[in-house]
Amino acid sequence: MELNQLINTNEVLDIVLKWGFVLVFTMFFVFTLLIYRQVQLMSRTLAGLLEPALKLIAVGLIVGNLVVLVMAVMVL
Amino acid sequence: MPHSSHKKETKGSVYNTLKLEKTTNPLSSFMVCPAVKFETQSAEEKIILMLRAHPITNLGWIVLSLLALFVPAFWEFLPADLLPTKFWWAGIVLWYMVVALFVVEKFLDWYFNVYIVTDERVVDIDFYGLVYRNMTVTQLNKLQDVNFKQTGGIAAMFNYGDVFLQTAGEQREFDFHRVPKPAKVVEIIYELVQEEEQEVLEGRIR
């Protein structure tokens, strides 16, 4: 295999891997939104326990995943 | 005097006895007279017990999650040139995100799947998956039989088991799975049913 071909193969692999990771991170981001929705639904059904803390954790997951998603687009 | 206020004054000996043992720990799996509200609770209805599965039943997923934390350490044994470094790091971040979501999901599943016994009825709140919920209710005066089953050494050691409530209605059986102190739960429900029957006899039904 010539050098040019090898470089091209690596570039294609890089692009495929990058957008593969971005896709998976996007799916995780959607999943964290669903978890926030779930916490809201659960808190409406049963109130008076740890709702503020659980909502904070759910928001933390959303923010964390958003940061990871942006970083993946920029760095990878 | 209206029935409801009359009832308020005369009813609740079980509640009045148990409220002295009120539980304040929100992570407890055996909560007596907790300060919580559930969706269909009426203004005068008092929660006597709120139960969830015994904490020891969470041991499986907790151990699994702890082991999962160390999995990326073994990735070093894979060939170094398999992936560029930046993708290795992305893989590690992805792995820990999976573990975090698994832990949160399992905790929510345990925390919000509860069994509630009020002075009027028994409520089973179930959440399945991410957005599906199921609330099953039965009146105390429809309960015909209450019993429990403790199977296995771990259940006996940590004193948890299944409580079965047989109802007179169309719904077949009401089960509390792996709840702490099942004998105590049966005793309290039995007392509440007797109290309810007494109210029916005296015509003090809300």
**pLDDT (tens digit, 9 = 90+) per residue, A18-44?**
899 999 999 999 999 988 988 888 888
Residue B63 has pLDDT above 60, yes or no: yes
pTM of the model: 0.83
Alpha-carbon span B77 to B197, nearest angstrom: 68
Residue of B nearest to A75 (CA): B86
Q: Which is more confidently placed, B181 or A47?
A: B181
**Contact residues, B window 142-171, toward A, CB-based 8 Å cutoff:** none
Pick among A22, A23, A46 to test the B interface (most B CBs inside 10 A)? A46
β-pairing, B143-149 with B30-32? unpaired
Would you call B128 an interface residue with chain A, using a CB distance cutoff of 8 Å?
no
List of chain B residues whose C-beta atoms are within 8 Å of the C-beta of residue A47: 36-38
What is the average per-residue pLDDT within B72-84? 76
Between chains, do B101 and A32 touch, taking CB under 8 Å as contact?
Answer: yes
Residue of B nearest to A24 (CA): B94
The most confident of the ranges B7-16, B35-44, B123-132 is B35-44
Q: Which is more confidently placed, B174 or B41?
A: B41
What is the average per-residue pLDDT within B68-89? 81
Alpha-carbon span A10 to B150, nearest angstrom: 60
- Of residues B108, B107, B137, the one with CA closest to residue B124: B137
Q: Tell me, what's the pLDDT at A6?
A: 59
Question: How many inter-chain contacts (A to B, CB under 8 Å) are there?
Answer: 80
Residue A72 has pLDDT above 80, yes or no: yes
Instruction: Find the CB nearest A21 among B90, B104, B131.
Output: B90
What is the average per-residue pLDDT within A50-73? 90
Would you call A15 an interface residue with chain B, using a CB distance cutoff of 8 Å?
no
Lowest-confidence pick of B2-11, B157-166, B188-197: B2-11
Residue B8 has pLDDT above 70, yes or no: no
Q: Tell me, what's the pLDDT at B52?
A: 93
Residue of B nearest to A26 (CA): B94
The answer to ipTM > 0.90 is: no
Would you call A52 an interface residue with chain B, using a CB distance cutoff of 8 Å?
no
- B42 Cβ contact list (under 8 Å, min separation 6): B120
Instruction: Find the CB nearest A76 among B38, B86, B97.
Output: B86
Pick among A45, A50, A63 to test the B interface (most B CBs inside 10 A)? A45
Residue B4 has pLDDT above 70, yes or no: no
**Helices and strands, counts by H and E, chain A:** 2, 1
The one-letter amino acid code at A60 reads: G
